[in-house]
Structure 1
């Protein structure tokens, strides 16, 4: 049974592993997987991770997913590929939305149709796009906003 609990510093390596295992699926068809930046080397950790409230999903002692929220922004939500499509992401998103309330927003890669469908099911709608460099490749991103409950 998957349990969700607050993140502790001892979870750092496990959270990095979840992120790094899930990230190639996020960028499939957009960037070369070997060019992706591991979470531990992300130059934006001071914005997307450290100041956030963080929660982990655990199968026993094993961290299998996590979410990071800051104010009304979901900055990170990743599920280990072995645990995807089992409702773990939905539970973490529900927790994040309970903390954030409305409005809530996040950013996804435009080509990540799976993530776009996931957030759309939770009431998020597209609210603009922008291009950004990721590991030397230009990727298009979409801002998703959930304005009502």
Structure 2
């Protein structure tokens, strides 16, 4: 299976909406917050989806996932990552994270909701728990949520 990562283009909008809207249900269900669901069209501006860089993953010629965040020589922060639920466990999320990490020059941080099964995925990739906070749910501030901050650090250079 080949996964190709490329920059987001405006023609990808319908695909990333479809992917987000389906995968967000899984994310919120795991956190016990399904009633907080809002679709991407209702939240992308307030949550700043396009404030940073956005990349999409293509599998068999169709958009299968996307990732967004800020990246620099000092590190980065993944702010969005979603994979089409029909394509879970096929290497798409792994390819998206690997792409993002390859662009960062240092630690990469992300936040995952408590109860989200993706936490195991991130920890399997080398992310470690740095902290836990409870506050307003990003995208639907009428709800309170607990999130875990996970950080991936590059291996120390060998001498």
- State the TM-score, normalized to the length of structure 1: 0.88
Matches within 5 A, 1:4-19: 4-19=5-20
Partner of residue 56, structure 1:
56
Give per-residue Cα distances to partners, 1:29-68, cap 9 Å, x unaligned. 434435311112115332xx11221111123442110011
Partner of residue 70, structure 1:
70
- In the alignment, the residues of structure 2 paired with residue 75 and residue 147 of structure 1 have an alpha-carbon distance, to the nearest angstrom, of 17
Displacement of 1:101 in angstroms is 3.1
Secondary structure of the structure 2 residue equivalent to 1:28: helix
- State the TM-score, normalized to the length of structure 2: 0.83
Secondary structure of the structure 2 residue equivalent to 1:143: strand
Question: Number of matched residues?
Answer: 146
Match of 1:126 among 121, 129, 132: 129
What runs of 5+ residues in structure 1 fail to find an aligned partner? none
Q: List structure 1 segments (4+ residues) > 3 angstroms apart after TM superposition.
A: none
What runs of 5+ residues in structure 2 fail to find an aligned partner? none
Larger radius of gyration: 2
Partner of residue 138, structure 1:
144
Identify if the C-alpha distance between structure 1 residues 141 and 98 changes in structure 2 by more than 3 Å, giving closer, same or farther: same
Q: CA RMSD in A?
A: 1.7
Secondary structure of the structure 2 residue equivalent to 1:50: helix
On the 8 A contact 2:28/2:36 being kept in 1, the answer is no
- In the alignment, the residues of structure 2 paired with residue 128 and residue 32 of structure 1 have an alpha-carbon distance, to the nearest angstrom, of 21
